[in-house]
Amino acid sequence: MKDVYAAPTRQAAMEALDALDAKWGAKYAYDIKSWRENREDFTAFFDFPMEIRQIIYTTNLIENLNGKIRKYTKNKLSFPTDEAVLKSVYLAFWEVSKKWTMPIRNWGMVLNQFLTIFDKRVRI
């Protein structure tokens, strides 16, 4: 899948999807079919420069947060109280919030791209 997302163009992404289908199509037929049927939505981020696309596909905060919550709650079969669940979820939020302060790689270049594309909407 990385080859699909990291492709330089839409056409290259579709070729990478064909290669993915050839290798994994039997096992993941539904997923690949879904990608093909929703091609326009799936390839919308190719309208942006590579620097912005990298942020889009590597910075999925929701998946990251859900993963941390699962990490903190999966080892427990049951919690003694509702408060114990809330504490575990709070710890997950606290842990993931540390990453949110990490700088974005090549931020200067990315910011210039944002300013070029969204000049009226970006405020510094």
pLDDT digit string, tens, across residues 79-106: 889 898 899 889 888 888 887 777 778 8
Residues 119 and 77 in one domain: yes
Cβ-Cβ contacts under 8 Å for 14 (sequence gap 6 or more): 39, 43
* Domain co-membership, 28 together with 55: no
pLDDT at 59: 66
Q: Per the structure, how many domains does the chain have?
A: 2
In the predicted structure, residue 75 carries a pLDDT above the cut 80: no
Tell me which of 96 and 16 has the higher pLDDT. Answer: 16
Residues 24 and 53 in one domain: no
Predicted confidence (pLDDT) at residue 1 exceeds the cutoff of 70:
yes
Write the pLDDT tens digit of every residue in 24-74: 999 999 999 998 899 888 888 888 888 888 777 766 777 888 888 888 788
pTM of the model as a whole = 0.56
19, 72: one domain: no
